[in-house]
Amino acid sequence: MAASDAGMVREDEVHGSAGVDRRTLLIGAGSTAVLLGVGGLRYVGSVPQVRPPGGQDEDHLIAACIRCNRCVEACPMQVIVPSRIEYGILGMRTPRLEFSENPPGDMDGIAFCDFCAEANDGVPLCVQVCPTEALKVPEGEVVEDTILGVAELDKDLCMAYRSGFCAFCHDACIEARGEEAAAIYYVGSEDGTSMLPVVDAERCNGCGACESVCVSIQDGSVVNAKERAIVVRSLEYLEVAE
């Protein structure tokens, strides 16, 4: 091998990792541009998603996200996942929050968004590592006041409403938010035999603690249930449902 060729090989080896990063950036940006050109800012039939902190402006997130997955990798709670195609082609592989992958009833390992209060002193790591500011907390907004979504309770699936008392979502909400800020409380049933959970939508910030521990889809609980009895929905989703 000629000396000049050897030099070129060494130079490629030295700069190889940087080249990969640049290619990833360009491919991601190019893919976004193509998708935007095909369908505008929204894809007809897309399902509004619960987004990580700083991603509540859906149009901005879709336009700026390069699908690099850095936010997914940075999340200490592992509740950020890439969106799948069934939620809409334009938002495919953009970050969304998913709480139902946590084992039901696992009170020792509640998986929820705490805005990195413990991991990074309240500065969301997903926002911190985003290279394009697709995740960006608006100027003047306190991150703890960000509303990620609202928990929606399906009484037909809820174990408390179906067969008696269940306290998992209530206890997880208190664990995550503290008793003063908790958004789930109990009311007595009409016959006075049981206590039933209720979500206070005005106090819920969509952190996902309740969904992460819900036991409604454990084996033998609810036949053919496709999701847990309590699920965090985006504000946009709830507006469309109304």
Q: Which of 22-31, 67-76, 215-224 has the highest mean pLDDT?
A: 67-76
**Residue carrying structure tokens 């009311």:** 187
Report the SS3 class of residue 153.
strand
Say if residue 157's pLDDT is above 60. Answer: yes
Give the integer Cα–Cα distance in Å for 176 and 211: 12
Mean pLDDT for 96-112 is: 94
Domains and CATH numbers, the chain: 47-146 (3.30.70), 147-241 (3.30.70.20)
pLDDT in tens, 171-184: 999 999 999 999 99
Highest mean pLDDT among 4-8, 104-108, 135-139: 104-108
Q: Which of 30-34, 58-62, 163-167 has the highest mean pLDDT?
A: 58-62
| pLDDT reported for residue 143 | 77
Residue 42 has what pLDDT? 45
pLDDT confidence of residue 47: 81
Q: Is the pLDDT confidence value at 215 over 50?
A: yes
Helix, strand, coil: what percent of the chain each, to 5?
35, 10, 55
Split at pLDDT 50, 70, 90, the class of 124 is: very high
User: Could you identify the residue written with the tokens 């968004």?
Assistant: 113
Answer positive or negative: Cα dihedral of 101, 235, 230, 213: positive
